[in-house]
Chain A
């Protein structure tokens, strides 16, 4: 059996029900093992022999965390027995140094595996380009490696686990099975969210029995995710692929490129958040609360807020393991203190923050893929977020002078639209074939901009007929309505659950029928690979 996506018959109709059935019929004590075996079987289906990398990373962080714990215990015992201050200091220095070596080794080895498997062809081809520019005719052959699906996700989980043990946020787990399940739980292994040990590990290993409410809510979440992916994302894919492939050959204007960028952003959101709905719904069925990865990102009023609502677990990972460690390092703290004295309250923390933003966005760009377009995508966000922080005090003063209220609807609507447009331009770079293509798209967008193609029928030549457009509008309106409810603090699922049965069931049936009738699948349908599984 080959599983290429969570929104597939193989997963939803065979794998998940089989895992749920096995989980239900066996005793509580054995349930975690069912989840672990199911997770490894799932990983075998998606990556076959490359499962060895996952096993290595799991064993590596498991053993190193135990070693760290042992060193911490030894330090405590030695400090209790120490008689002088000097001796205590010597013990602390020696022990801290040993712990540092372990954490550095643990991070370097796992990041190195990721770097070699995923980035070495990119590094070698970039080196060859640099050599060519320098006049050297020798070129190195780019290496070819097979990387397991989900390596970018589970590597970050591994690093967070060992780092949290080092920082004594959590204790090292002696149970190898629990660490292995935390690393490999099948709903999250392919596309995240990036979980922390303290979020999911113990819930996964508890072997809670299935509950009717969890199963219902989980199934509803899965159905909603399927609607997003099958009705919206897969339908938009035809348009987006054609628009981005043929824009030069058919001399598209900037308007069509912009429409391609907007629809690609919608596709990416529906595809990724739809898959995450299936992931969270699957976890919910087993009684495990998987962290949310999206919080209505298109209601954001700034790029910085957008990244607190889009791929949340990646953003918080970078915040906790890169942004704060950089800004809170001794040197950066000194810089902040100095700058606060010289530049004042508003601009004082900016120099340290901008350095940290650069580190975060360089890593964020590279994490998304090995290519210059991804680095450009990261740098684009670095510039926007840094500029946003730089001009915020000034814009606050201007708004106050012009008596414009940030919280009033017109200004809010303006900032939401501005942010959405900037996000779409970023995603356009993201979907390009390389840095050159990315620059070309920008050139067409800004030098040949006209809305002519939106109204002269060109849009209908790219794979979407009027019938598709109506279905897309209805489906997007449903997703938007759910988003608005959530923004207002209403849980759509609980709202529907509280309606009388003759209202509730027609809503469920209508959504399922809508997905079944208008979803892209069946004979002649070529499944579209999940975009984020490749990262």
Chain B
């Protein structure tokens, strides 16, 4: 989780990833940041994120992202 927060802070520094649950809804992460984020997460956690997983529910908070990563690691 700490590594994920580091990646998020590198991509978009202006957010509190511990508490924010509206990263997509409040346009904190735009499509360009999502592209970078997917590339970084795939590299770091050795997973593949299919396009169907790119939905607000999975990207609105660091926690939701972490749960998606764990789920994809298990598959």
Contacts and interface: CB of A to CB of B under 8 A. Distances in A.
B36 A336 contact: yes
Interface string B22-52: 0000000001110110111011000001111
A448 B49 CA distance: 53
B74 interface: no
The SS class assigned to the A binding surface is helix
B68 interface: no
* Residue of A319, A337, A348, A349 contacting most chain B CB atoms (<10 Å): A349
A324 B32 CA distance: 10
Interface stretch (A142-150, A325-333, A499-507, A516-524): A325-333
Contact of B35 (A168, A169, A325, A353): A353
Contacts of B32: 349-350, 353, 389
Given A167-B52, A169-B52, A324-B54, A333 B31 contact: no
B2 interface: no
Interface string A60-89: 000000000000000000000000000000
B51 A324 contact: yes
Interface residues of B, number: 17
A295 interface: no
Given A345-B10, A345-B11, A336 B50 contact: no
A168 B39 contact: no
Contacts of A353: 31-32, 35
A321 to B, nearest CB: 9
Interface in A328-346: 328, 333, 336-337, 340, 345
Contacts of B38: 328, 333
Interface string A141-179: 000000000000000000000000001110000000000
A323 interface: yes
A320 B51 CA distance: 8
A320 B56 CA distance: 12
Contacts of B51: 167, 320, 324-325, 328
20 contacts: A167-B50, A167-B51, A168-B52, A169-B52, A319-B31, A324-B54, A327-B35, A328-B35, A328-B49, A328-B50, A328-B51, A336-B36, A337-B43, A340-B40, A349-B32, A349-B33, A349-B35, A349-B36, A349-B39, A353-B35
Interface of B: 10-11, 31-33, 35-36, 38-40, 42-43, 49-52, 54
